[in-house]
């Protein structure tokens, strides 16, 4: 893709959203499907773990074959800790679970995509402990990972999932943030890629959209998008689906808390098929989860091009 920088937001997607550019549509769906892989690959017996080894994720998961097949290889799995307040332990237990992965473009991927892309994908909420963290929408300082002079305030629950160290005896005790940053640092500085143009793309859905936003900002703020000893920074882009405040399910925190919306918005009608099903007898309480699903969003992206 010769115009990959434009598709990655170099010009804030100017003239590409209305109508939705065909190449950008495929680009968005590419990253959305890479997030969907996480949902499709959760272990049926232990939902906190992936069903497949890293090297088998894309070959075993339900990814459509075609132009964008075999473009990435997974290098690292991401696990995160949802620590619940002690007084809720009787009802909701702490949980350390698989949240996503880091991947890098293969040689074929580099040829098709126009650069060596490092991809980070985050899933949305699947457990009671994670719903508990979603509800912790009071603001806390994130100065430990962002600019201290500005003292940025972020969602308490999201930041906790991103930065809490593991309490699992069998784990490395690293937070999700540390796992991701170690993987990115290794890939950015990999000797084989030293002479190549690289990019970093972060994608997520729902809770994962919030984590992707924190992650992408963290990468840029702390210059993980620069090779060691270099002043040149690579492009970092976040593609987020059903992001908090922009979705029927994630329309929280409430308006009286001063959160700000960020980024460029592509509005789609993700509820369309659910509403059609409602005519055939689907109940109202079924519409909201269906409208929120990532698969529904990807269908909406396809339909959006013709609007």
Contacts 24+ apart (CB under 8 A), 59-67: 61/37, 62/37, 63/33, 63/37, 64/33, 67/26, 67/112
pTM beyond 0.95: the answer is no
Domains of the chain: 34-266 (3.40.50.1820), 270-307 (no CATH)
Q: Would you say the C-alpha torsion 183, 26, 220, 109 has a positive or negative sign?
A: positive
Q: Of these residues, 160, 206, 270, 293, which one is catalytic?
A: 206
26 is a catalytic site residue: no
Catalytic residue among 166, 247, 291, 293: 247
Q: Is 178 a catalytic residue?
A: no
Asked if 94 is an active-site residue, the reply is: no
What is the residue-level pLDDT of the chain in tens, covering all 307 positions? 779 999 999 999 999 988 899 999 999 999 999 999 999 999 988 988 999 999 999 988 766 545 556 899 999 999 999 988 777 776 788 789 999 999 999 999 999 999 999 999 999 999 989 988 988 889 999 998 987 778 889 999 999 999 999 877 666 789 999 999 999 999 999 999 999 999 999 999 999 999 999 999 999 999 999 999 999 999 999 999 988 877 656 666 666 677 887 888 888 765 544 443 334 443 433 334 457 889 888 888 888 765 4
**Looking at residue 277, what is its pLDDT?**
39
Measure the CA–CA gap between 131 and 224, rounded to whole angstroms: 30
């Amino acid at each position: 893709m010769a115009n990959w920088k434009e598709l990655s937001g170099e010009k804030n997607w100017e003239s590409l959203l209305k109508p939705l550019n065909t190449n950008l549509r495929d680009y968005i769906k590419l990253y959305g499907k890479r997030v969907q892989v996480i949902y499709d690959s959760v272990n049926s017996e232990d939902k906190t773990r992936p069903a497949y080894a890293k090297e088998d994720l894309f070959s075993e998961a339900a990814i459509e074959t075609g132009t964008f097949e075999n473009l990435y290889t997974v290098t690292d799995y991401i696990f995160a800790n949802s620590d619940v307040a002690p007084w809720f332990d009787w009802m909701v237990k702490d949980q350390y679970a698989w949240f996503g992965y880091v991947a890098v473009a293969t040689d074929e991927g580099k040829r098709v995509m126009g650069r060596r892309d490092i991809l980070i994908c985050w899933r949305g909420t699947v457990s009671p402990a994670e719903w508990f963290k979603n509800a912790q929408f009071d603001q806390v300082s994130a100065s430990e990972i962002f600019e201290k002079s500005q003292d940025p305030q972020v969602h308490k629950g999201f930041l906790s999932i991103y930065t809490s160290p593991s309490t699992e005896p069998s784990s490395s005790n690293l937070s999700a943030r540390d796992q991701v940053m170690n993987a990115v640092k290794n890939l950015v500085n990999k000797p084989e890629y030293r002479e190549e143009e690289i990019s970093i793309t972060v994608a997520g859905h729902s809770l994962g959209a919030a984590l992707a936003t924190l992650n992408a900002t963290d990468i840029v703020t702390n210059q993980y998008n620069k090779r060691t000893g270099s002043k040149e920074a690579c492009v970092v882009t976040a593609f987020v689906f059903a992001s908090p405040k922009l979705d029927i399910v994630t329309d929280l925190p409430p308006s009286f808390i001063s959160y700000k919306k960020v980024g460029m918005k592509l509005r789609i009608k993700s509820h369309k098929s659910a509403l059609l099903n409602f005519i055939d007898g689907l109940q109202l309480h079924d519409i909201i989860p269906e409208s929120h699903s990532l698969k529904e969003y990807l269908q909406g992206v396809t339909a959006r091009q013709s609007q």
